[in-house]
Structure 1
């Protein structure tokens, strides 16, 4: 995963940064209560597809999600040293490619990809392996770890000037060891207090994996004192079972699936990230054999749009605008692919051939509504 993110991050920096595009002005006739946006994850790791990703953001979104999941540069951040070159380039590139009229969500994970242990050392750091290991041997709520993470967040905040900050991506996974979760809870409480003191006007929140797990929900409730919003991270196609054949018709999602999280506290909510498959999903390594089609994807998008409108969400982030079959094929050819990447491959509003799905038109129509 580190090599994949490194490649994706580095290619950002070498792209032609000119992306101005003239558009006819269309006056929307309705309003919506929330911002709409995506991440800049592209269909393939090349100049053309990255331009497509940012063109979609600049033309059909009013918020962009900058998501950092590459680990933490603990030593550099703790000592306020220069950050890894690749990280500096990412910040520069993303700002150049995104029109300055967009709201910004900054999402940073303190956890590994399994979301049950501390994030590894930042993947392109030049700090010695011995020093990196010393950092990884520390406890989650070690004061130096907390300081390093806060300094890292403040570096990214200074770089992006975000309107919203998710400082604890997917913090409630049910597989978290109970003792380690208590340390993580302490960690988040101190990070939240520090950020609240230094950035009192920016909404700070923790995102929660939205599923039907009892333990996951209980973990989320324990973290409510340290979040200004209820952030949902929702990919229900990975877990719902409408039939023995693996049907993922969104109409089979149980009642109160989202609402139990939305209503867990008297706080604003958002979809920090979500998406739905438009093609079949088969990943034996994860026991996934799910049916998908673009009609169900559109139905799911309509469901979350309605939820956002009816519950006055702050924003809705769809994971990616285009399928990345070609990107995964490239990674397979380079020996960098692993199965986790297949989960979101066919969730784009545009398919791998560049064809707009039914959900694309729905997204476009809603994006034209005036934000209240």
Structure 2
């Protein structure tokens, strides 16, 4: 009888463990994409939103272009080109999915403020000037009120400014503190962060690392932008070392607000750039990322973007085409919509 009782409790224990293991394997973080289209057409835009609705449980509106500074500072009518773009995003809002709104105050090179629609940067003495603060707050206020996000990145990749134009860093920090305080007062339930590039935080001098760690602690969650190929990281061991560094820098919830890696060789002759890669490498990166997301209980992961944009690149301004090449071949679908190896990794994790 004791043998049967022991066997019963052994089986009960095994069933319990099996149940716990199954539950532990369920996806415990959100997965999503930006709405960046793959070609210059309404069909591409609509297809992108449809893809997100079917293959994600969060998504990101990524606003990293000209800011209507003059209208915002002087409180005049906003440019139609700007309001039309935002109206389009509002009309396509995926109400079933939480929304991350990521906004940039910095230009593409992350050296100064973003340009106005006339190509000019607003005049200022310090980045923390009152008119800059008020203008940018009105900008965020407009976007938040129109799009009603669940998460906000109020300024993107801000550590790049410290790296690229360090004389403006202290001014920016004051501006960031002021904007954050005003946003928290007006939108107390909104989760707010600034984003930081892991590829220009990891393996940097100790003083730089510590400064970014201290400043990033002011955010509600640690928002990370990471493109490992930019720092020539290509293996699982290299990816994991970067993630281990990240985990050592914070006790906040972690969110990858934009990330991907190339699925084929990157060649930009005009910039003397050649970076090797493959579908297999992209797959390993995504596997390693999602394994860490599960283990560390990340808030979410946003892949930028879902499909290669070879057909969109010809419409880039001539001066931006070389930069555009950097992320062209990073989709989980190639330019023809064919699934890459990494897509199966995404689906396997998303369908848990």
Q: TM-score range by the shorter chain?
A: 0.7 to 0.9
1:285 to partner: Cα distance: 4.0
TM-score normalised by the chain length of structure 2 = 0.86
Q: Does residue 119 of structure 2 align to residue 119 of structure 1?
A: no
1:252 to partner: Cα distance: 4.7
Aligned partner of residue 339 in structure 1, secondary structure: helix
1:31 to partner: Cα distance: 2.2
Is the contact between residue 68 and residue 108 of structure 1 (CA under 8 Å) also seen in structure 2? Answer: yes
Cα distance in 1 for partners of 2:142, 2:320 equals: 30
Cα distance in 2 for partners of 1:146, 1:181 equals: 15
1:57 to partner: Cα distance: 0.9
The structure whose Rg is larger is: 2
Aligned partner of residue 309 in structure 1, secondary structure: helix
1:80 to partner: Cα distance: 3.9
Displaced runs of 4+ in structure 1, greater than 6 A? none
Q: Does residue 282 of structure 2 align to residue 297 of structure 1?
A: yes
Out of 325, 332, 337, the residue aligned to residue 342 of structure 1 is 325
Could you tell me which residue of structure 1 aligns to residue 159 of structure 2? 172
Q: Deviations over 1:69-89 (max 9, x none)?
A: 113222322344332212211
Cα distance in 1 for partners of 2:300, 2:193 equals: 13
Unmatched segments (≥5 aa) in structure 1: 1-27, 242-247
Could you tell me which residue of structure 2 aligns to residue 276 of structure 1? 261
1:50 to partner: Cα distance: 1.9
Q: Does residue 230 of structure 2 align to residue 238 of structure 1?
A: yes
Q: Does residue 273 of structure 2 align to residue 306 of structure 1?
A: no
Could you tell me which residue of structure 2 aligns to residue 141 of structure 1? 128
Could you tell me which residue of structure 2 aligns to residue 19 of structure 1? none
Provide closer, same or farther for how the CA distance between residues 284 and 313 of structure 1 changes in structure 2, counting only shifts above 3 A: same
1:93 to partner: Cα distance: 1.1
1:107 to partner: Cα distance: 0.6
Q: Does residue 54 of structure 2 align to residue 44 of structure 1?
A: no
Aligned partner of residue 349 in structure 2, secondary structure: helix
Matches within 5 A, 1:1-372: 31-121=26-116, 123=117, 135-173=122-160, 175-211=163-199, 212-215=202-205, 217-240=209-232, 248=234, 250-253=235-238, 255-331=240-316, 335=318, 337-369=320-352
Matched residues, number? 325
Q: Comparing 220-229 with 316-325, which one deviates more in the overlay?
A: 220-229
Q: Deviations over 1:91-150 (max 9, x none)?
A: 2211222321111001111111111212222x2x6xxx8xx66x3344211011011111
Cα distance in 2 for partners of 1:226, 1:82 equals: 33
Cα distance in 2 for partners of 1:79, 1:262 equals: 43
Q: Comparing 298-307 with 68-77, which one deviates more in the overlay?
A: 68-77
TM-score normalised by the chain length of structure 1 = 0.81
Unmatched segments (≥5 aa) in structure 2: 1-21
Is the contact between residue 268 and residue 314 of structure 1 (CA under 8 Å) also seen in structure 2? Answer: yes
Q: Comparing 301-310 with 258-267, which one deviates more in the overlay?
A: 258-267
Provide closer, same or farther for how the CA distance between residues 191 and 262 of structure 1 changes in structure 2, counting only shifts above 3 A: farther
1:266 to partner: Cα distance: 1.7
